[in-house]
Amino acid sequence: MSTLQPVRGTHDLLAEDSLRHRKVIDTVRDISGRYGFDEIETPIFERTEVFARTLGDTSDIVTKEMYTFEDKGGDSLTLRPENTAGVARAFISGGLAQSLPLKFTYQGSMFRYERPQKGRLRQFHQTGAEILGVEGPLADIEIIALGSHYLEALGVRDKTVLELNSLGDTESRAAYRDMLVNYFRSHLDQLSEDSRERLERNPLRILDSKDQGDRDIIENAPLISDSFNDYSRDFFDAVKQGLDVAKVEYTLSPRLVRGLDYYCHTAFEFTTTELGAQGALVAGGRYDGLIKQMGGPPTPGVGWAAGIERLAMMIDEPEGRARPIAMVPLGTEAEIKALSLTQHLRQGGFSIELGYSGNMKKRMKRANNVDAVACVILGEDELAKDVATVRNMETGDQVEVPLASLEDHLASYR
RNA sequence: GUGGCCGUAGCUCAGUUGGUUAGAGCGCCUGGUUGUGGUCCAGGAGGCCGGGGGUUCAAAUCCCCUCGGCCACCCCA
């Protein structure tokens, strides 16, 4: 491999891609701000235990997807594969338990060692939102409403479906897990190889298997709602009612699950059919057990994460920079004058492209390439008369404008 | 980690059963225009045919390995 190739699954972000990412990020800042969320930025790497402990020793992320390395001090560090663990760690180590509830958003690079495919990279970007310290369903409702509002603001909500489920509380969930394992054990010989393995490691995951044989068995599997105790049922009902009141549409997905034990109650995904196999645009749920499991004070949490690349592929092409006005000076004296005018105009709010070199033809060509609306031509003739020639790049019309009124004249191009 | 398809100019691609100096369009550069872009005309630069090995008189073309891309599985945002 050439060392000048980008590392597999990484990308340079240029031009339109960059604009798309920026829109996705700017929008989450705007919308989450209205919901009272503050931005948090945690380190891009953490001690390996932060992820190993929160994600579970058997999860795929921990067993095969982490970028783990030893630093010069001998510590095992890992590039973050997701950000909830980092936020939880920041919460614990920063002693933030006294200022609950907390509402955070974040945005940044995540790293997973996977085979790249559509909507999946090794270095990718996520934005997310977390509410810490709220036990009741209002936090679930608000975090989902935020996700929905965010997708609306990006213009993609109508291309998504909000899938909603509840995993119940710890008691309900444990009861369900037992029922489910028993059920699948009785059909062991009909399960796919993958699912037989999942039965040991992560039985709930069998529910979203894509294997047709599995699906036939899953069809008749017990539903988690059958195992709900009163509290879990009430909680879920409250979430559903709240979403109705907030006018957030959803469909119930009784097979939507989260594998790890600290997840409970609400699980949801905003999914699309437009991105091939990677349908999840925004996914999240409640994780009341996480912070305690990490060694912090028992603190409930709900949140979601969204794939920025995936959203960037879905949105309409954003507008770029405003079209500039190009300065076209001819000769050293004119260049100095142009520099002075350029800075003055920029201070006044204009976008000015100052050509760096070349004869007039070259500078005009450059002006055209940067899609200038107009050119301000400054040559010897103009300097002598204390004027500038302003060329409208659409019509080709040119007028001489006294330098004193140049700014007023250019105002029509803004 | 597994599987399918694919790597030829900056970009998008053509290249016959293996056969001389590997092509096109777009873009780029120069000139037609000593102070005028975008259109037009003329000319030009630019390729280790992803990399390595093999078969052959001869390889962009066939075989093997490898790196990368796309898509899917696994898993996930």
Contact A324, A373 (CB under 8 A): yes
- List A90's β-bridge partners, or say none: none
Per-residue pLDDT reduced to its tens digit, A11-66: 888 888 888 999 999 999 999 999 999 999 999 999 998 988 777 766 777 767 88
Residues 44-73 of A with CB under 7 A from strand B: 59-61, 65
Would the CATH topology of A15-169+229-314 be identical to that of A325-413?
no
Q: Distance (Å, rounded) from C-alpha A19 to C-alpha A71? A: 35
Quote the crossing angle between the two packed helices A230-245 and A137-153, to the nearest 10°: 30
Please report, rounded to a whole number, the percentage of residues in chain A having pLDDT higher than 90.
56
d(CA A304, CA A258): 12
pLDDT at A177: 87
Backbone torsions φ then ψ of A130, nearest 5 degrees: -135, 140
Kindly state the helix (H) or strand (E) to which residue A79 belongs, with its residue range: strand A76-79
* Residue ranges of domains in chain A: 15-169+229-314, 325-413
pLDDT of residue A157: 94
List pLDDT tens digits, range A377-411. 999 889 999 999 999 998 889 999 999 999 999 99
The pLDDT assigned to A196 comes to: 83
Homologous superfamily of domain range A15-169+229-314: Bira Bifunctional Protein; Domain 2 (3.30.930.10)
Residue A411: CB atoms within 10 A of its CB come to 11
Q: Is the pLDDT score of A331 beyond 90?
A: no
Above 60 in pLDDT, residue A91?
A: yes
**In the CATH hierarchy, which top-level class contains the domain A325-413?**
alpha beta
pLDDT of residue A3: 56
Asked if strand B comes closer than 7 Å to A384 Cβ, the answer is no
Mean pLDDT of A228-234: 93
What whole-number distance in Å separates Cα of residue A80 and Cα of residue A87? 11
A84's tokens? 């909830």
- Residues A296 and A344: beta-carbon distance below 8 Å: no
A116 CB inside 7 Å of strand B:
yes
ipTM over 0.95: no
Average pLDDT over all residues of chain A = 90
As a three-state string, the secondary structure of A262-329 is CCEEEEEEEECCCCCCCCEEEEEEECCCHHHHCCCCCCCEEEEEEEHHHHHHHCCCCCCCCCCEEEEE
pLDDT digits (tens, 9 = 90+) for A116-161: 888 889 999 999 999 999 999 999 999 999 999 999 999 999 999 9
Query: Does residue A264 register a pLDDT over 80?
Result: yes
Verify if strand B has an atom below 7 Å from the CB of A306: yes
Residue A323 pLDDT > 50: yes
Q: How far is CA A309 from CA A21, A98, A269, A270, A399, in A?
A: 7, 36, 16, 15, 46
Share of chain A above pLDDT 70, in %: 98
A130 touches strand B (CB under 7 A): no
pTM: 0.88
Cis peptide before A101 (omega within 30 of 0): yes
User: In the 157-216 stretch of chain A, whose C-beta falls under 7 Å of nucleic acid strand B?
Assistant: 194, 198, 205, 209-211
Distance CA A258, CA A285 (A): 8
The answer to whether the beta carbons of residues A145 and A248 sit under 8 Å apart is yes
Residues with Cβ within 8 Å of A313's Cβ and at least 6 positions away in sequence, in order, are A20, A119, A275
Residue A270's nearest nucleotide, by CA–C1', is B77
- What pLDDT sits at residue A1? 41
Return the closest-CA partner of residue A167 out of A287, A312, A45.
A287
CB A208 within 8 A of CB A268: no
Average pLDDT over residues A193-209: 81
Over range A172-193, report the average pLDDT: 86
